[in-house]
């Protein structure tokens, strides 16, 4: 059962250009710059906790508050209920103040603007965004060079408050839809830690339509069956599209390399429907996320592509395999050992524990 809603679109009065974008040496990342009538760039980026510092009613976002608002007995009691020690300490002691929020927005923007000649991708799928307000602030105050249209985000059911979203220079053909995922009854106590699938249909430069899905599947600590269900629900949305409609799914699929080896998830639930973009050409890419505890890389973040089934009279949009890149050359994205640098509040370093993936599609 799908929960449909209209996308919330806010128009900003002013677009402010700021000097937070990546240096020119970090801009291109090997990806050809600039959109054209025959080329569209698509990027996915898990921005790791893009939160403002105000409490959203009904959401467990109290970690991301200024320290001055964490001195109450009520706040301490809620933090004490957190089982993971590191997360409990963050809830109690992190000072998510205005300066921290501004720094987080700046480094995320720099990572986005490193592609396509400093303009960022034409279509950007995002994960771990708290709400439309913080995304609009990113768009208007930090991503002016990208000239994105109003942000696309529909609040979902995740109890922590993180959502999937889109930013795009291309217009929508119709309002976006959020499809809340459903799971077997045995997983009912885990549903609050899941996100829906955000569907948006974009008007390509030649007037053709392409449907995109921004996804953030259940985390690896949840049972594999939950990710299998998510893949199946995504496939059902794809098969329900018109035959002349190309489509892509972009986001954090939370499928580790180890789980895929054991369960053969991509072969069973992805390749029958989609082309896995990074398998078509990504140089010596090892992955978008690194697990230090077992020294392993995974493509938790993927872009899946499905060309139109009925070529018809319209131009056919195809994946350009040699354009698939990991965008990790902006300042602060890599640790000294070459792994992703998560955002560190206290040390003033890092961006996200995920690296963005970017590609181009072209009309033929």
Q: pLDDT tens, 319-328?
A: 999 999 999 9
Nearest residue to 123 via CA among 178, 155, 165: 165
Overall average pLDDT of the 210-215 stretch: 98
β partners of residue 318: 362
pLDDT band at 17 (very low <50, low <70, confident <90, very high): very low
> 3-state class of 241 per DSSP?
coil
Which class for 43: exposed (0-12), middle (13-18), buried (19 or more C-beta within 10 A)?
A: buried
**How many residues in the chain?**
364
Q: How confident is the model at residue 223 (pLDDT cuts 50, 70, 90)?
A: very high
Grade residue 36 by pLDDT with cuts at 50, 70 and 90.
low
∠ CA 200-206-208 to the nearest 5 degrees?
40
Q: What pLDDT shows up at residue 178?
A: 98
* Six-digit token string for 67: 């320290």
pLDDT at 211: 98
pLDDT of residue 312: 53
43 Cβ neighbours under 8 A, 6+ residues apart: 112, 115, 120, 121, 123, 124, 125, 250, 327, 356, 357, 358, 359
Q: Give helix then strand counts, H and E, for the chain.
A: 7, 14
- Residue-wise pLDDT for 232-285, tens only, equals 999 999 999 999 999 999 999 999 999 999 999 999 999 999 999 999 999 889
CATH 3.60.10.10 fits domain 24-53+97-363: yes
- Residues contacting residue 349 through CB under 8 Å, at least 6 positions apart: 332, 341
**What is the pLDDT at residue 27?**
36
Contact 172, 202 (CB under 8 A): yes
| pLDDT grade for 121, boundaries at 50, 70 and 90 | very high
Res. 104 pLDDT band, cuts 50 70 90:
very high
Across 221-242, average pLDDT: 98
| Residue 138: pLDDT over 70 | yes
pLDDT value at residue 237: 98
Q: Which residues pair with 177 in a beta bridge?
A: 199
Phi, psi of 268 (to 5 degrees): -80, -35
Q: Which pLDDT score, from 0 to 100, does residue 172 have? A: 98
């Amino acid at each position: 059962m799908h929960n449909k809603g209209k996308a919330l679109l806010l128009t900003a009065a002013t677009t402010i250009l700021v000097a937070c974008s990546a240096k020119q040496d970090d801009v291109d990342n090997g990806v050809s710059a600039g959109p054209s009538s025959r080329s569209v760039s698509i990027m996915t980026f898990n921005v790791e906790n893009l939160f403002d510092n105000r409490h959203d009613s009904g959401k467990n976002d109290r970690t991301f508050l200024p320290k001055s608002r964490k001195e109450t007995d009520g706040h301490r009691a809620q933090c004490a209920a957190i089982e993971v020690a590191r997360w409990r300490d963050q809830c109690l002691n992190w000072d998510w103040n205005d300066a921290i929020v501004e720094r987080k927005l700046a480094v995320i923007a720099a990572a986005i603007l490193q592609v396509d000649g400093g303009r960022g991708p034409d279509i950007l799928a995002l994960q771990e965004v708290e709400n439309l307000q913080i995304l609009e602030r990113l768009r208007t105050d930090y991503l002016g060079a990208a000239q994105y249209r109003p942000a696309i985000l529909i609040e979902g059911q995740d109890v922590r408050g993180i959502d999937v979203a889109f930013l795009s220079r291309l217009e929508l053909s119709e309002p976006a839809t959020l499809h809340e995922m459903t799971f077997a009854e045995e997983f009912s106590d885990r549903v609050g830690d899941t996100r829906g699938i955000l569907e948006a249909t974009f008007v390509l430069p030649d007037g053709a339509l392409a449907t995109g899905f921004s996804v953030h599947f259940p985390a690896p600590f949840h049972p594999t069956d939950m990710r299998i269900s998510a893949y199946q629900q995504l496939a059902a949305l794809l098969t329900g599209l018109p035959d002349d409609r190309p489509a892509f799914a972009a986001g954090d699929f939370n499928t580790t390399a180890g789980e895929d080896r054991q369960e053969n998830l991509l072969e069973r639930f992805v390749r029958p429907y989609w082309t896995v973009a990074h398998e078509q050409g990504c140089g010596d890419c090892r992955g978008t996320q690194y697990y230090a505890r077992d020294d392993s890389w995974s493509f938790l973040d993927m872009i899946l592509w499905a060309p139109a089934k009925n070529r018809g009279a319209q131009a056919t949009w195809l994946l350009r395999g040699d354009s698939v890149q990991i965008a990790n050359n902006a300042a602060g994205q890599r640790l000294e050992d070459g792994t992703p640098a998560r955002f560190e509040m206290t040390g003033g370093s890092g961006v996200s524990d995920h690296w963005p993936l970017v590609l181009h599609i072209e009309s033929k």
